[in-house]
Amino acid sequence: MLKSVAGNQRIYLGSFISLLLFLLAGHYSTLAFQEKKQLAFSKSILIKSDEVTLQLATSLRDVNQAGLIECDKPTIDKIRIIASNYPYVDDIGLAEGDKLICTANWGILEKQSRLPRHDFITASGFEVYLKPRDLFPSRLIRNMTRLGNVVAFSSRLRAEQIYKDTADFSYELVTRNGEHKFISSAGSPAASTPLSTFSTRLCSDAFDYCIVTYNDRAGILAYHPLLITLYCIIAICFGGLIAFSVTSYQEEKRSLEFRLIRAIKREELYLEYQPVVHAVQHHIVGVEALLRWKDELYGQVSPELFIPIATKLALYKNISFFIAHRALDDLQHLLKQDSNLMVSLNVSNYEINKPEYLDYLHKQVILHDIKPHQIKLEITERINEYHQKISAFAADARKKGFKVSLDDFGTGASNIVWLTSIDFDEIKLDKIFIHGLHEELKRDLFISMLNGIAKLNKQLVFEGVESPHELRLIESFDKHAFIQGWLFYKALPAARLTHIITEKRASSPTALAATSDSTHHGAATG
């Protein structure tokens, strides 16, 4: 009951956390999209604004450089010609002091209105007037720029084409210091919470102004409420599912750990043995001990699953020592009958780093009255220890009379180092070598590699042999090689293995001698 309540609490918490994460992810991904969109809009506005500003400044300089100071018809005509060259300039005029005298569009003004005080002066000396009023007979309101006695007005029509309102956000064209506003869209920013508002600012590289955009429906608030609701429901369901899966996995993992601890204490783990066969004579020359666990609840559990769990629980020592004594218990009779029959034991980082393992194994050999050379220790390339430490382990093992085999050769990255630094008796070639012989593109490469390995004069064992064709390839390469694979045998219980070997010896009186001869050859070449 308590476990059920705790599990439900984890599911609720997972749903809440998932909702929060989904909302944050959706919010900030939408913000990123909005930012990209607003900055792209700002960039396009700035490009057009720079064109407008450049045309205003250039037209003012053109009139000043032409020396046009009198408001007569020839002067106004010349101003009109200059103004026609700049589509973003609506009008150009002349001023005397604080009065506007004439413009290209209006000619000489009958009523000469007084100019207001400028709003600010740019670094280049241009006076800027933001929307001055009552300068013309009609109610035209446009921004005005002055240089000396020349004034220029930006085109309102062009401005309306450039500065269009957008439904997604509002914007302003302001001076860099933010004190003066040139243009603002219909939806100017309103007071909002920090999470609901998002703004961008992009400034011109050439002129002293910036585009600022405001979005008061930032993030997921930009979506329809129904869509937000659906999004939240999906997030809650997804989070609940993830939390349920994690909870179930944790409970299952704890249960498996508990059952593994119990199985180790009760010695419910067991060994199976896969025979190693002479490639030509087809006699069993040895076996490899393979750890197995069949649980009542979980069925056949893979060693790749329960061995890491045992290591995490600091129980691997129990497994390692169990394999050593159980293998000798199971095979004592066979090993004593044939002193050339070998049993291979896999070693891992633990055995490499624990000197007491070899001492324990040596005591078991003496206790079971078998020969040390009948024990073969298989060191896989997957062991992640320094080769110096592995080399020391191999040397100690050989001093005690054990054989050393390099297992899964070809699957790791330390092939050459291992061959030159580790004292070994046998090389077990991974099945990639057999598969490589099937492919024409790889065959020459693998044969070259095999020839190089063969020159070491070590016993070769080919793993993963599953077809007669593969067997023939091996026989053609090395008539003294050993093979291990499903072509002859899968892993067998000790009783079944004993029956097979006993039966073969009874049916073939020369089998034992042949096995002995082949094994002696391997030892001689090793």
pLDDT band at 288 (very low <50, low <70, confident <90, very high): very high
| Per-residue model confidence (pLDDT) at position 416 | 66
280 and 167 within one domain: no
Q: Which CATH number belongs to the domain containing residue 405 in this structure?
A: 3.20.20.450
211 and 90 within one domain: yes
Look up tokens 């450089």; give the residue.
Answer: 65
pLDDT band at 514 (very low <50, low <70, confident <90, very high): very low
30, 222 Cβ separation under 8 angstroms = yes
pLDDT > 50? residue 468: yes
Which of 238-247, 340-349, 434-443 shows the highest mean pLDDT? 340-349
Distance, CA of 85 to chain centre: 58
284 and 208 within one domain: no
333 and 184 within one domain: no
* 319-377 pLDDT tens trace: 999 999 999 999 999 999 999 999 999 999 999 999 999 999 999 999 999 999 999 99
What's the average model confidence in pLDDT over 411-430? 76
325 and 195 within one domain: no
What's the average model confidence in pLDDT over 440-444? 70
pTM: predicted TM-score of the whole model, two decimal places: 0.52
Taking Cα atoms as reference points, which of 98, 170, 171, 87 lies closest to residue 132?
98
Structure token digits, residue 372: 């040390």
The answer as to whether 241 is a domain residue is no
184 and 97 within one domain: yes
The answer as to whether 247 is a domain residue is no
| Per-residue model confidence (pLDDT) at position 188 | 53
Name the more confident of 453 and 163.
453
17 and 87 within one domain: yes
Distance, CA of 231 to chain centre: 26
pLDDT band at 525 (very low <50, low <70, confident <90, very high): very low
Neighbours of 196 (CB within 10 A): 12
Structure token digits, residue 234: 């999906």
The answer as to whether 437 is a domain residue is yes
Average pLDDT, the chain: 83
pLDDT > 70? residue 380: yes
| Per-residue model confidence (pLDDT) at position 512 | 46
Portion of the chain with pLDDT greater than 90, in percent: 41
**The total number of structural domains that make up the chain:** 2
What's the average model confidence in pLDDT over 248-267? 80
pLDDT > 50? residue 128: yes
Taking Cα atoms as reference points, which of 291, 257, 255, 289 lies closest to residue 273?
289
The answer as to whether 30 is a domain residue is yes
| Per-residue model confidence (pLDDT) at position 101 | 92
| Per-residue model confidence (pLDDT) at position 339 | 92
CA atoms within 13 A on the CB side of 234: 9
pLDDT band at 522 (very low <50, low <70, confident <90, very high): very low
pLDDT band at 232 (very low <50, low <70, confident <90, very high): confident
33 and 112 within one domain: yes
Look up tokens 């001093």; give the residue.
Answer: 399
| Per-residue model confidence (pLDDT) at position 1 | 43
482 and 405 within one domain: yes
Name the more confident of 411 and 524.
411
Which of 281-285, 504-508, 509-513 shows the highest mean pLDDT? 281-285
What's the average model confidence in pLDDT over 288-299? 92
Structure token digits, residue 433: 């070598």
What's the average model confidence in pLDDT over 222-232? 76
pLDDT > 60? residue 221: yes
130 and 278 within one domain: no
* 24-41 pLDDT tens trace: 777 778 778 878 888 888
| Per-residue model confidence (pLDDT) at position 249 | 67
| Per-residue model confidence (pLDDT) at position 523 | 33
Output the DSSP codes for 260-307.
Answer: HHHHHHTT--EEEEEEEEETTT--EEEEEEEEEEEETTTEEE-HHHHH
The answer as to whether 232 is a domain residue is no
The answer as to whether 246 is a domain residue is no
* 152-209 pLDDT tens trace: 998 876 766 677 766 678 888 889 988 888 888 765 555 455 566 778 899 999 899 8
pLDDT band at 224 (very low <50, low <70, confident <90, very high): confident
What's the average model confidence in pLDDT over 462-490? 89
Q: How far apart are CA 199 and CA 212, in angstroms?
A: 7
| Per-residue model confidence (pLDDT) at position 516 | 42
pLDDT > 80? residue 254: no
Name the more confident of 79 and 4.
79
The answer as to whether 460 is a domain residue is yes
208 and 336 within one domain: no
DSSP letter, residue 69? -
Name the more confident of 233 and 265.
265
Burial class (CB in 10 A: 0-12, 13-18, 19+), 249: exposed
pLDDT band at 443 (very low <50, low <70, confident <90, very high): confident
User: Diameter of the chain by CA atoms?
Assistant: 136
Burial 222-245 (b: 16+ CB within 10 A, else e): beeeeeeeebeeebbebbbeebbe
Minimum mean pLDDT among 105-109, 363-367, 422-426, 519-523: which range?
519-523
| Per-residue model confidence (pLDDT) at position 518 | 43
Taking Cα atoms as reference points, which of 497, 8, 515 lies closest to residue 251?
8
Name the more confident of 488 and 421.
488
The answer as to whether 228 is a domain residue is no
Structure token digits, residue 353: 């780093």
* Residue that finishes a domain, picked among 169, 194, 215: 215
Helix (H, G, I), strand (E, B) or coil at 219: helix
pLDDT band at 5 (very low <50, low <70, confident <90, very high): very low
334 and 193 within one domain: no
| Per-residue model confidence (pLDDT) at position 285 | 95
| Per-residue model confidence (pLDDT) at position 341 | 95
Name the more confident of 409 and 60.
60
Range of 435's domain? 273-290+316-507
What's the average model confidence in pLDDT over 450-463? 86
